[in-house]
A and B are shown apart, each in its own frame.
Chain A
Amino acid sequence: MLTDLQKRLLNDFQRDFPLSPTPYRDIAEQLGVTETEVITALAELNAQQFISRIGAVIPPNHIGASTLVAMAIPAAQLQTVADKISAFPEINHNYEREHRLNLWFVAVAANAAQLQQVIENIEQQTGFPALQLPLVDDFFIDLGFKLDLQHA
Chain B
Amino acid sequence: MDATDRRIMHATQAGLPLTPEPYQTLAGQLNLSTAEVMRRLMAMQDSGIIRRIGAVPNHYKLGYRFNGMTVWDVPDGQIDELGRQVGQLPFVSHCYHRPRHLPEWPYNLFAMVHGKTQAEADRQIRQIADVLGNQCHGNEVLYSTKILKKTGFRSR
The answer to whether B88 has its CB under 8 Å from any CB of chain A is: yes
Please report which residues of chain B, range 32-58, place their CB below 8 angstroms from some CB of chain A when the two chains form the complex: 34, 38, 41-42, 44-45, 48-58
The answer to whether B144 has its CB under 8 Å from any CB of chain A is: yes
Q: In this complex, what residue of A is CB-closest to B8?
A: A56
Please report which residues of chain B, range 59-79, place their CB below 8 angstroms from some CB of chain A when the two chains form the complex: 59, 61-63, 69, 79
Among B20, B23, B116, B149, residue most surrounded by chain A Cβ atoms (within 10 Å): B149
Cα–Cα, bound, A121→B137 (Å): 35
Q: In this complex, what residue of A is CB-closest to B52?
A: A15
Cα–Cα, bound, A135→B108 (Å): 10
Min CB distance, B152 to chain A, in Å? 4
Q: Are B56 and A10 in contact (CB under 8 A)?
A: no
Interchain CB contact (< 8 A) of A95 among B42, B96, B144:
B144
Count B interface residues, CB 8 Å. 75
Interchain CB contact (< 8 A) of B21 among A22, A104, A147:
A22
Residues of A within 8 A of B18 (CB): 24, 39, 42-43, 46, 54
Cα–Cα, bound, A52→B15 (Å): 8
- Nearest 3 CB-CB pairings of A with B: A53-B15, A92-B152, A139-B87
User: Which chain A residues have a beta carbon within 8 Å of chain B's beta carbons?
Assistant: 9-10, 13-17, 19-25, 35, 39, 42-43, 45-46, 48-60, 62-63, 68, 70, 82-83, 86, 89, 91-99, 101, 103-105, 108, 131, 133-149, 151-152
Known contacts A55-B13, A56-B9, A97-B144, then 8 further A-B pairs from the complex at CB < 8 Å, ordered by chain A residue: A14-B57, A16-B53, A92-B154, A97-B143, A135-B97, A136-B108, A140-B95, A140-B96
